[in-house]
Amino acid sequence: MVERTLAIIKPDAVSRNLTGEIIKRYEQQGFAIRAMKKVRLTKSQAEGFYDVHRARPFFGRLTDFMAGGPMVVLVLEGEDAVKRHRDLMGATHPKEAAPGTIRREFGTDIEHNVVHGSDSRESAQFEIGYFFSTLELQF
């Protein structure tokens, strides 16, 4: 089934000039980029995005990091996009991520793992709406 998912090139990757390298991989895997922009979140906007993790011990560090610099957010579309994108990203901890995945190749540690991807169709819908208006998703 053709579906959409949200990808984020996180602030660590943007500051390390990895944006182009990562976008190239999305395109090489056949995803259509339906929307894309560069944004910098406030602390409270980062907290809203990661609301499901509010009770976790790493929530403060995670949201400081995500608000710490600009990021690139994209809507990727394709067959089975949510899972295919998660497979391309690799496991949360870069050391546990499979060879060839984005996190394995570029991630530093569990807190600086270069990319985000929605983990279900439901979270994709919430996350896409968090960053993009209907008007920005019209093509």
- Going 75 to 77 to 82 to 86, the CA torsion angle's sign is negative
DSSP the chain: -EEEEEEEE-HHHHHTT-HHHHHHHHHHTT-EEEEEEEE---HHHHHHHTGGGTTSTTHHHHHHHHTSS-EEEEEEEEETHHHHHHHHH--SSGGGSPTTSHHHHH--BTTB-SEEE-SSHHHHHHHHHHH--GGGG--
Is residue 42 close enough to count as binding ligand IDP by CB under 6 A?
no
Q: Which positions from 100 to 129 touch Mg ion by CB under 5 A, shown as an x/- string?
A: -------------------x----------
Provide the residue type at 63 as one letter.
T
Q: Does 98 bind ligand IDP (CB under 6 A)?
A: no
Catalytic residue among 53, 85, 112, 116: 116
Q: Which is nearer to Mg ion, 24 or 129 (CB)?
A: 129
Nearest to ligand IDP of 19, 50 (CB atom): 50
How many residues lie near Mg ion (CB under 5 A)?
1
With CB cut-offs between 5 and 8 Å by kind, which of ligand IDP, Mg ion, none does residue 62 bind? ligand IDP
Q: Minimum CB separation from ligand IDP for residue 65, in Å?
A: 7
53 counts as catalytic: no
List residues binding ligand IDP (CB under 6 A).
53, 58, 62, 92, 110-111, 113, 116, 119
Catalytic residues: 116
